[in-house]
Amino acid sequence: MPAKIAEFTQSNVSVPKMGHARDLWEKLETRQARIGVVGLGYVGLPLAVEYAQRGFPTLGIDLNRERVLRLNAGANYIQDIDDASIKTIVESGTFVAEDDFSASGTVDVFFICVPTPVTAHKDPDTSYISSAAQAIAAHIRPGQLIILKSTTYPDTTEGLVKPILEKEAAKHGMQLGVDFFLAFSPERIDPGNTQFTTANTPIVVGGVTQACTELACMAMKQVVAHVHPVSSPKVAEMEKLLENTFRSVNIALVNELARLCDRMGGISIWEVIEAAATKPFGYMPFFPGPGLGGHCIPIDPYYLSWLARRYDFETSFITLSARINEEMPFYVLDAVIRCLAHQPVRMEDAKILILGVAFKKDVDDIRHSPALKVIELLYNKGITHIEYSDPHVPALRVETGKGDLEMKSIPLSESMLQRYQAVVILTQHSAFPYAMIAEHARAIVDTRNAMQHIPHNRDKVMLLGGGEF
């Protein structure tokens, strides 16, 4: 068992005595190192802002030309970033965005923050990582540090990125760990979380060599308070998958229990969870819902199962949990149909209002949102009169298999609520007027327990996981 590695501080690590490692260390200490961030989405842009705000000259690279133009004009498109922050760093000259890699040779520390989706067959798609690594390799020079932050499977850093960089570096007589450096440090962004941000969320770092680890920790320490080094990129890569698979498995557990409570009748999973949470040890509350969304939790279990197959190992428990979570939109469809069965209306004539299409509360992120699947299922079932309201998502496109639905958010009003046979709460945004909804909606399918504090009109509410309609 390897010795425990202490949290990184500049005082408990020896400064490199010579060479490119020392040069880079000194650039980081004096904030002269130029930072390059590849991928300016929910992970990359907040990271770039942190470095630019601390005075590091920062280059953001994104192939989306519209994003680049907006940023260079001082305009923001990420909800978790203050609009004024973008304007300030652009006007001060500490940040500039580009849509190509032509200036890559001037960068000292690269962060790769590109998407890592799965294919239609649930296999990892690392094409964005490969493309970024190849573009960086084309401009590689001595003294550069490359840190992969995209969530991925163990051995991506060493098995995919490292060979790409080494192949080009070898042409210039450069050696990994001596002339250039490589590490993995998984992102820990939680969209909409105002308590834990890029700056105050502890992060993990694993380098290919000891020098790689120390330099990557030094780079991250400039913007993150707590940096935890590990023995290798593989450990850091697996750690990230564990974080998200832990959540996936526990959410699947309560989702399955929610369906059981519903089947049994007379038991609310929400009350069960509340009661269990009174235990001060050995228990952590998780909550059911219409399915999983976001950029990590719905994806990462499949990265693990794919990896396991390469070693003739089946992650039965993890894969089953992912499937349970993926079935939840079908359970919501079932609930809506049961709700309509209590009313004198044919399914094809029913009007449905969806409340909330973002994947979580109070954000504008719709990536893998279960609302998209619920709308698709309703439409394909013949319930075609569907509208939605979401203060954070003004417009929406939903693929149905019968053509795309182009939808726009509609404002809530008393008269408007009365038009629908069912109001389906999929995201419990704080801005929704729940008392008014309870008063004027004909029937409510509540998948988030959003109506829990509304005492009146409880007879209208069908609560997923045990609730009367």
Catalytically annotated residues? 296
Q: How far apart are CA 155 and CA 158, in angstroms?
A: 5
CA 414 to chain centre: 35
Q: How many CB atoms neighbour CB 43 within 10 A?
A: 26
At which residue do the structure tokens 């001595």 appear?
Answer: 142
Q: How far apart are CA 378 and CA 385, in angstroms?
A: 9
Please check whether residue 368 is in contact with residue 292, taking contact to mean a CB–CB distance below 8 angstroms: yes
Q: How far apart are CA 64 and CA 279, in angstroms?
A: 49
Q: How far apart are CA 46 and CA 48, in angstroms?
A: 5
SS3 74: coil
The 3-state DSSP composition of the chain as helix, strand, coil percent (nearest 5) reads 40, 15, 45
Q: How far apart are CA 160 and CA 282, in angstroms?
A: 39
DSSP letter for 204, please. E
Amino acid found at 72 = N
How many residues appear in the chain?
469
Q: How many CB atoms neighbour CB 161 within 10 A?
A: 26
